[in-house]
Amino acid sequence: MRILSSGKNTVLGTEVIYMKEIHVSTHNQTMGVPMKRIFFVATLAMMLLLAFSSVALAKGYSPSNRSSSFLDKGESYVAWDKAQATMDLASETNTASVHGNYTTTTVKCQVCHSAHKAAAAGDTLLQSTASQACVPCHLGANASSSTKVSEGNRHGSASGCTNGYCHSVAPHGVGDISSYATLSGAMLTDHGDSLLGAAILSGSTGNPEEGYIYATGSDSSLVASRIATMTVYNPGVTAAILNDTSDAAAISFGRAVGTGYICSNGGCHMNGAFNALTADATWSEWGGMLHTDLAEYGQPLGYGTWWGPVDVPAGDYAQGSIISSGGVDYDVWDLFDMRQDAVKGHTLAAVADLTTRDVAFANVGACKTCHDSIDYRISPTAKQFPHGNDVINVGGFDEGTNSAAWFTVAGSLGSGDATTTVRGTGITSGSDGACMKCHRNTGATSGVGITY
């Protein structure tokens, strides 16, 4: 007997209509389905299965193309503002800086490092080499951080941040970082801490002799770190000032006080008088011995003369000590440019009451008040000091020269600035406008050369 039967099944959500032929055997024969019919139906089902599954399985990709649920599409590193927002959701309080204060719920490591999509040219999963690790976030107008510094010359070079003189070479808030809070917040080195300690001690006792120290330099392995001995007497310097992070003004002032001591470490700017807080503050007067140590530096510490270097043996040298080299006598203190008389410097005057003074019409308050050249590539108000000092015009273009000591000059307070140029040419930091921009009032009706 032959019976035609129809119906439908579902394959991958699609109804498939079928018709089959059933043979019924009689005479005690079993009922069965011809094998060719079974094969046909099975083959059809398999073809449909492969057709529909190819959409989901053939390419094997995630529709959003992410590498994790945290990074957005195309991201390799976590943006700092996104990291801060995530930490806020976790009620995390250690969010002021990516450098240090790590806890279980902070989001900081992935701001600098990427576990799976790091830049191919970087070191230790960074965006760049370790020697230029600060560059992507901080150097120049295109830096990703809101804390941008000017690029250009040795103070704003791609590798200048990590050379050990100014900033700590350890980015994680430990190691050679200053113990003072206003300085450590900017990752400044601890190599000025000994000088600051001497200033604090001598100021608290009122005895300049307490400030006699050996200034051993920023890094004993660096050739430029010539050892020299000095005294620092600056009664206004206190640990409280250097640790006051209560507001932006306090941080700026503490950092201004400490920066000068960092600049002088390692013999870089030994001849300056930095950040005096009182009129009787003195710098670099020394009545003791000049100490040199070949074992520490591993090389002669002779100062180069116009006809060549002079080797100075290790030892202690009193003022007036003479050594002979190549048949020529040299004064050791002269070779090392030692200060042999006390010097004083311009005070920061951050707390002065200008209404009672007839000398100046603007507080100094911070280094950038005088060293005030602007990097228009970053913003119309971005002071460059102490980083790159290229002359940048209001259009944000590099004019191909450097400002002299980051100075601008003006005829009176707020009268508009003229940019200085390199030493020995044009307008320099020694021009009178460097003083008149503060020591003449707005409109130039009062001030130096007018009323006093």
For residue 386, cis peptide bond before it (omega within 30 degrees of 0) = yes
Q: Is residue 3 predicted with pLDDT exceeding 50?
A: no
Q: Of the ranges 122-126, 248-252, 280-284, 339-343, which one carries the lowest mean pLDDT score?
A: 339-343
pTM: 0.72
Q: Is residue 318 predicted with pLDDT exceeding 60?
A: yes
21-65, pLDDT tens digit by residue? 444 444 444 444 555 565 565 666 666 555 555 444 444 555 555
Structure token digits, residue 353: 């009451």
- Report the share of the chain in percent with pLDDT over 90: 30
Per-residue buried b or exposed e for 170-209, using 16+ beta carbons within 10 Å of the residue's own CB: ebbbeebbbebbbbbbbbbbbbbbbbbbbbbbbbeeeebe
Q: What is the mean pLDDT of residues 235-254?
A: 92
Per-residue buried b or exposed e for 251-277, using 16+ beta carbons within 10 Å of the residue's own CB: bbbbbbbbbbbbbbbbbbebeebbbbb
- The residues, any chain, with a CB within 8 Å of residue 28's CB and separated by 6 or more, are none
Structure token digits, residue 142: 């295109």
Q: Are the C-beta atoms of 196 and 258 separated by less than 8 Å?
A: yes
- Which residues are bridge partners to 317 per DSSP? 290
CA 364 to chain centre: 24
375-409, pLDDT tens digit by residue? 999 999 999 999 998 999 999 999 888 888 899 99
